[in-house]
């Protein structure tokens, strides 16, 4: 049986990225995701969401809960995160081709600087 821990901090950071990309405030996130605003406040303080809020936030954001489960024993081929970011930036219809390339260059530079060897 697989065992793992939920990365609540990582999930909240991803929700925040979705919020920024959609140009929303936290009140609108709560309304659209149909979760109490207090849940988002608690998450910002390091607490994990309840299962219903987690499901609602995943449905609203398009995020997958399994991407935030640490220590899973299932073996799967993992694509390189940098490759995924590049693909997502280039596929984003909200970005110009030049904008996507500029963000890609920034992210690649930062990734190379901060990655663990």
0.85 surpassed by pTM: no
- Look at the alpha carbons of 62, 67, 69, 74 in this order and tell me if their dihedral is positive or negative: positive
In words, the CATH class of domain 5-70 is mainly alpha
Tens digit of pLDDT per residue, the chain (117 long)? 445 689 999 999 999 999 988 999 999 999 999 999 999 999 999 999 999 999 999 999 999 998 888 765 555 556 678 888 888 898 889 999 999 999 999 999 998 899 887
DSSP annotation string for 49-62: PPHHHHHHHHHHH-
What does the domain layout of the chain look like in residue ranges? 5-70, 81-114
């Amino acid at each position: 049986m697989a065992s793992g821990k939920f990365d609540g901090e990582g999930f909240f950071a991803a929700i925040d990225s979705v919020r920024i990309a959609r140009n929303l405030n936290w009140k609108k996130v709560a309304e659209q995701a149909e979760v109490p605003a207090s849940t988002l406040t608690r998450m910002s303080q390091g607490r994990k969401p309840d299962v219903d809020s987690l499901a609602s936030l995943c449905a609203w954001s398009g995020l997958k809960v399994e991407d935030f489960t640490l220590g899973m024993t299932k073996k799967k081929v993992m694509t390189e995160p940098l490759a995924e970011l590049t693909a997502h930036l280039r596929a984003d219809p909200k970005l110009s081709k030049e904008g996507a390339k500029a963000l890609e260059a920034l992210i690649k530079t930062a990734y190379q600087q901060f990655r663990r060897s």
